């Protein structure tokens, strides 16, 4: 089969690799019909190379049609249309029973002290072959696949794999009070979708912050107050947000940027210097040091009102990143974070994926491309070129 594979920093290729096969009686094989390019994939493209091997298959936002099932699979059958969550979760352990599928005890990567395994996402999370491919082996076939109806286009459902539950959890964790305000830092796919979900939940004031014109315009078209970060390089962003929120700041901030935030030249230089080290050395440093570009997180801490909540959905990788704990304690900030627990939110989201399409899923993708164009798509997404906000590959 053809699959997107990692070969080095900013070097992904489409290679021919062996087809996956049933390995356990609860496995299924899915023929992928659509699969997304995620902002988290850029962390593999740019930063997390020490935890990858050449030839690793990338991608964690797939959907498709069941092609084969193991002997013990009864929940789905060949021909069923399914979305695959990015968490590899068993559905039966204590953590899964609490709706914490990103902490699944069956697939935790204890070697690295991390949570549940993830499709297509480094040794830190199990090095499980990913879904930017023609075929995907999916374990836990009686629990993990989300069965969706035949008929509507893939765009209606594919975001159940990651974007929708990640944004839904971000809004839920923000816990904006009635009549309250929400700021969203970063209007990439997750931030953009979070503003749509916040609007659906009736949050009255939503402020979106970014510096990419196409992203700002998408949010503005959906009724979001937008702030162009390029107009506030002098450091007055916090005051500008406070002016819009009664002088005290928003009740909650969703930080949807993560480790590659703009505005952190020192951390950027550290990332670049570390990339020159041998992979084993770089990996040890990343597991023990703070190497993230924290500008967006610092901005969230500064912007949120006293007693407010920060909902952190942007991905970070440094073990000892410095945080202004005195400020956080003094402001009595509540901080919630973590990988989305996809199955926890799927039943809440599915009723919205109707013909009315209130979240705008069918027009959410900016680019639909064959798998063979993945290397070019990664580059343009990383450089924010050609209006690239959300890419769907169609193997």
Half-sphere exposure of 238 (CA within 13 A, CB side): 13
For domain 2-162+341-393, give the CATH number.
3.90.180.10
Specify the pLDDT at position 270.
44
Residues of each domain in the chain carrying CATH 3.90.180.10: 2-162+341-393
From the CB of residue 230, how many other CB atoms can be counted at a distance below 10 Å? 12
**Angstrom distance (rounded) from CA 392 to CA 374:** 10
Could you give the angle at the alpha carbon of 390 between the alpha carbons of 388 and 392, nearest 5°?
Answer: 115
CATH of 164-337, one of 3.40.50.720, 3.40.30.10, 3.40.640.10, 3.50.50.60: 3.40.50.720
Kindly provide the residue ranges of all beta strands, DSSP E only, lying in 116-196, ordered along the sequence.
135-138, 146-147, 181-185
User: What is the value of pTM for the model shown?
Assistant: 0.91
Cβ contacts of 174 within 8 Å, gap of 6 or more: 182, 198, 252, 253, 254, 309, 311, 336
Specify the pLDDT at position 337.
94
Could you give the angle at the alpha carbon of 325 between the alpha carbons of 323 and 331, nearest 5°?
Answer: 125
**Angstrom distance (rounded) from CA 185 to CA 206:** 11
Specify the pLDDT at position 321.
67
Cβ proximity of 107 and 117 under 8 Å: yes
Ranges under pLDDT 70 in the chain:
233-235, 258-293, 316-321
**Angstrom distance (rounded) from CA 127 to CA 105:** 16
Q: Which residue has the tokens 């969706």?
A: 148
Distance of CA 132 to the CA centre of its chain: 15
Structure tokens at 216: 């700002």
Structure tokens at 89: 């979760």
Cβ contacts of 65 within 8 Å, gap of 6 or more: 30, 31, 33, 79, 80, 81, 82
Check residue 67 and report its DSSP letter: E
H or E element that contains 8: strand 2-8
Half-sphere exposure of 242 (CA within 13 A, CB side): 14
Could you give the angle at the alpha carbon of 148 between the alpha carbons of 146 and 152, nearest 5°?
Answer: 145
Specify the pLDDT at position 165.
98
* Secondary structure class of 326 (helix, strand, coil): helix
From the CB of residue 71, how many other CB atoms can be counted at a distance below 10 Å? 10
Specify the pLDDT at position 267.
42
Cβ proximity of 296 and 231 under 8 Å: no
**Angstrom distance (rounded) from CA 94 to CA 329:** 32
Specify the pLDDT at position 272.
46
Specify the pLDDT at position 292.
53
From the CB of residue 117, how many other CB atoms can be counted at a distance below 10 Å? 22
Radius of gyration over alpha carbons of the chain, in Å?
A: 20
Kindly provide the residue ranges of all beta strands, DSSP E only, lying in 128-194, ordered along the sequence.
135-138, 146-147, 181-185
Residues of each domain in the chain carrying CATH 3.40.50.720: 164-337
Cβ contacts of 143 within 8 Å, gap of 6 or more: 75, 89, 90, 91, 92, 343
């Amino acid at each position: 089969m053809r699959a997107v594979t990692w070969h080095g920093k900013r070097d992904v290729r489409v290679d021919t690799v062996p087809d996956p096969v049933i390995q356990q009686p609860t496995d299924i094989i899915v023929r992928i019909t659509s699969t997304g390019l995620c902002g988290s994939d850029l962390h593999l493209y740019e930063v997390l190379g020490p935890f990858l091997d050449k030839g690793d298959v990338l991608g964690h936002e797939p959907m498709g049609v069941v092609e084969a099932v193991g002997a013990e699979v009864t929940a789905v059958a060949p021909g069923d249309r399914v979305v695959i969550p990015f968490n590899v979760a068993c559905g039966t352990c204590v953590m899964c029973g609490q709706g914490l599928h990103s902490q699944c005890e069956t697939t935790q990567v204890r070697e690295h002290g991390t949570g549940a395994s993830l499709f297509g996402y480094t040794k830190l999370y199990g090095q499980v072959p990913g879904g930017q491919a023609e075929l995907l082996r999916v374990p836990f076939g009686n629990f993990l696949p989300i069965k969706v109806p035949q008929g509507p286009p893939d765009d209606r459902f594919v975001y159940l794999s990651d974007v929708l539950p990640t944004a839904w959890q971000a809004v839920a964790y923000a816990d904006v009070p009635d009549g309250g305000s929400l700021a969203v830092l970063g209007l990439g796919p997750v931030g953009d979708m979070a503003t749509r979900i916040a609007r659906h939940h009736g949050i009255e004031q939503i402020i979106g912050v970014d510096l990419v014109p196409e992203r700002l315009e998408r949010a503005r078209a959906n009724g979001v107050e937008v702030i162009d970060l390029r107009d506030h390089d002098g450091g007055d962003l916090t005051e500008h947000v406070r002016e819009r929120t009664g002088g005290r700041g928003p009740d909650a901030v969703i930080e949807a940027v993560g480790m590659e935030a703009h505005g952190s030249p020192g951390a950027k230089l550290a990332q670049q210097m570390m990339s020159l080290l041998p992979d084993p050395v770089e990996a040890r440093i990343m597991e023990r040091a703070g190497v993230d570009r924290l500008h967006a997180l610092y901005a969230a801490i500064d912007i949120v009102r006293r007693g407010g909540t920060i909902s952190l959905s942007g991905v970070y990788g440094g073990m000892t990143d410095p945080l202004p704990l005195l400020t956080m304690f003094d402001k009595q900030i509540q901080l919630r974070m973590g990988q989305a627990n996809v199955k926890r939110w799927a039943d809440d989201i599915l009723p919205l994926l109707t013909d009315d399409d209130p979240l705008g899923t069918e027009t959410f993708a900016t680019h639909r491309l064959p798998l063979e164009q993945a290397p070019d798509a990664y580059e343009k997404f990383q450089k924010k070129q050609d209006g690239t906000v959300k890419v769907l590959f169609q193997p």
